Amino acid sequence: MRAVDIRGGKGDANALFINPEVQKPQPGESEALVKIKAFGLNRMDLLQREGRYPVPPQTPSTLGVEFSGTIESLGPHIAEKGFKIGDEVFGLAYGGAYAEYIAVSTHMLIHKPKELSWEEAAGIPEAQCQPQTWITATQALYLVGEFFPGKSVLWHAGASSVSIAGIQLSKSGGASAVYVTASSREKIDFCVNELGASQGFNYKEQDFAKEIDKATGGKGVDIIIDFIGQDYFQQNLDAAAKDGRIVTLGALSGTKLPAGVDIGAFVRKRLRFEGSSLRSRDAEYQGRLRDKLAETAMPKFKDGSFKIYVERVFRWEQVIDAHKLLESNATKGKIICTIE
């Protein structure tokens, strides 16, 4: 089969090419072989391409963790009922989605609603770090952040795909307020006017912790979802409410804290700081998360209440241009590649 490969095993975007001689996978136990129609790009793909992302041991060398397509065959001993050859599905994988075919556990598949296009469906599953979505947002908000109605939420990188999903999930779930940070007024206006966020802060011009303090009358925010790490650590502690949760999904600014960071808020506010990664989770965990997404979000995809924002669709032959656009950090929503 054909699959996107990397010359020399790692490199910049120009090292990507379509290799016509990659071995076609065969479905193992509890797996389906899916013929891919579209796949989504994520920032982890950039890091993996450069050799800077620690992948799980079972991960294939081919990039890509989210896809949509049709089931071509099923392996033996499929534990989950309800999947058959010809089904239109989308899902999450440990890797291998930049290809014509992928073998993936049925625990990580969801039937594609007819209301969604292949491109929209491919943009639902994953997202680590920044603009990379619905499954990650669901995990961060519900499973790690322990969200329930009445809680307030701060989504950093508000115009990223994870936060676009998270803002909608928070509002639909009954959040008392939803705040965002972003790098421009255009992105903040998008989050507030299009997605319904309560308020947004330009992190280049404002101290978001001080703005949160003003907006909440000194209470702080209950749940903070962060992708930035080092540069936001102190402000996150300052912005959090008592008994607050800080969920970190990435560290785009780095992982080493500067001298002078005051961690007293952990005790004073009884804070919980928890990191999480979706890709390293086992298939059973991902299956439970898939079920949570199906319960909370799929009906709203079908009726149009939840919107999937696709920045741009490329043919997979343009994967170099797609990676360069993602690297520009100028996007709102997903970048998708399609396979004819």
Beta bridge partners of 91: 67, 109
- The pLDDT of residue 76 is 86
Separation in Å, CA 237 to CA 163, 201, 204, 245, 270:
20, 17, 19, 10, 11
- The pLDDT of residue 132 is 40
Residue type, 6: I
Question: pLDDT per position in the chain (340 positions), as tens?
Answer: 999 999 999 999 999 999 999 999 999 988 999 999 999 998 889 999 999 888 888 788 999 999 999 999 999 877 677 899 999 999 989 899 999 999 999 988 999 998 899 998 987 765 433 334 788 898 899 989 999 999 999 999 998 888 999 999 999 999 999 999 999 999 999 999 999 999 999 999 999 999 999 999 999 999 999 999 999 999 999 999 999 999 999 888 989 998 999 999 999 999 999 998 777 787 778 778 878 877 878 888 888 888 888 889 999 999 999 999 999 988 877 899 999 8
- The pLDDT of residue 197 is 97
- The pLDDT of residue 329 is 80
Domain with CATH 3.90.180.10 in the chain: 3-126+281-338
The verdict on pTM exceeding 0.85 is no
Asked whether 172 and 293 are in contact (CB, 8 A), the reply is: no
- The pLDDT of residue 128 is 39
């998008």: which residue's tokens?
190
Closest CA to 155 of 166, 143, 139, 171: 166
Helix (H) or strand (E) holding 140: none
Helix (H) or strand (E) holding 240: strand 240-248
Asked whether 45 and 35 are in contact (CB, 8 A), the reply is: no
Separation in Å, CA 48 to CA 12, 45, 326:
10, 5, 14
**Pairwise CA distance, residues 281 & 249, whole Å:** 13
Beta bridge partners of 32: 74, 104
**DSSP of 200-226:** EEETTTS-HHHHHHHHTTT--EEEEEE
Domain with CATH 3.40.50.720 in the chain: 134-275
Q: Which fold has domain 3-126+281-338?
A: Quinone Oxidoreductase; Chain A, domain 1 (3.90.180)
Q: Which fold has domain 134-275?
A: Rossmann fold (3.40.50)
